[in-house]
């Protein structure tokens, strides 16, 4: 694993342990070149998912992007980070078990809303209000940038 700080390729694993109830392995890594420390997570990837936007464009599913939008919706909410990780893994597992590798972005949005609704009402409202505005445009990047706490009125 390449060091994210200096680019050195040969980093060392200092510690490995199960995380997220054994859904992933958390590894603490150390870079002997610059002394940098970082963490990686290893997860099962059942298949490569492709997101189909409403304009028909295809895009590789990006777990980080999904995670970003969910974390923004949950900002300053009293939810444990570990619970958020579990929730995101749960969503990804659901997507992977749909039996299709091509998934409409709309379906992903609905699964996220369903999950958020069970966990935190405020986060759900934040996500849903922004999501509904962007359903037509279906531009996820724009959607994520719009989904900032100061762009919502949920907590005011
Ligand atoms: Zn380094």
The dihedral formed by the CA atoms of 110, 45, 75 and 82, expressed in degrees to the nearest 10? 120
Structure tokens at 51: 């997101």
How far is the centre of ligand 1, averaged over its atoms, from the C-alpha of 38 (Å)? Answer: 10
Write down the pLDDT at residue 106. Answer: 86
Residues in the chain predicted with pLDDT less than 50, given as ranges, are: 136-137, 151-156
Residue-wise pLDDT tens digits, 36-61: 999 998 877 667 889 998 888 999 99
How far is the centre of ligand 1, averaged over its atoms, from the C-alpha of 37 (Å)? Answer: 8
Structure tokens at 47: 């298949």
Considering only CA atoms, which of 151, 101, 156, 112 is closest in space to residue 135?
A: 112
Sequence spans of domains, the chain: 12-43, 50-148
Write down the pLDDT at residue 10. Answer: 92
How far is the centre of ligand 1, averaged over its atoms, from the C-alpha of 25 (Å)? Answer: 22
Residue written as tokens 């199960």?
18
E strands in the chain: 12-19, 24-30, 37-43, 50-52, 58-60, 102-104
- Dihedral pair phi/psi, residue 6, rounded to 5°: -120, -10
pTM: 0.60
Q: Under a CB-based contact definition with an 8 Å cutoff, are residues 70 and 87 in contact?
A: yes
How far is the centre of ligand 1, averaged over its atoms, from the C-alpha of 64 (Å)? Answer: 23
Instruction: Tell me whether strands 50-52 and 58-60 are parallel, antiparallel or unpaired.
Output: antiparallel
How far is the centre of ligand 1, averaged over its atoms, from the C-alpha of 41 (Å)? Answer: 18
How far is the centre of ligand 1, averaged over its atoms, from the C-alpha of 11 (Å)? Answer: 8
How far is the centre of ligand 1, averaged over its atoms, from the C-alpha of 10 (Å)? Answer: 9
């Amino acid at each position: 694993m390449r060091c994210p700080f200096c680019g050195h390729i040969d980093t060392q694993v200092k510690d490995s342990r199960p995380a997220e109830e054994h859904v992933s392995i958390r590894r603490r890594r150390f870079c002997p070149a610059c002394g940098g420390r970082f963490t990686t997570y290893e997860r099962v990837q059942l298949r490569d998912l492709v997101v189909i936007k409403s304009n028909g464009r295809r895009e590789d599913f990006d777990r980080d992007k999904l995670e970003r939008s969910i974390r923004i919706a949950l900002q300053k909410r009293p939810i444990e980070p570990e619970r958020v990780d579990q929730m995101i893994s749960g969503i990804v597992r659901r997507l992977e078990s749909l039996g299709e590798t091509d998934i409409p972005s709309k379906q992903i949005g609905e699964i996220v809303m369903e999950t958020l609704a069970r966990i935190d009402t405020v986060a759900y409202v934040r996500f849903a209000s922004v999501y509904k505005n962007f359903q037509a445009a279906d531009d996820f990047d724009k959607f994520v940038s719009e989904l900032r706490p100061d762009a919502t009125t949920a907590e005011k």
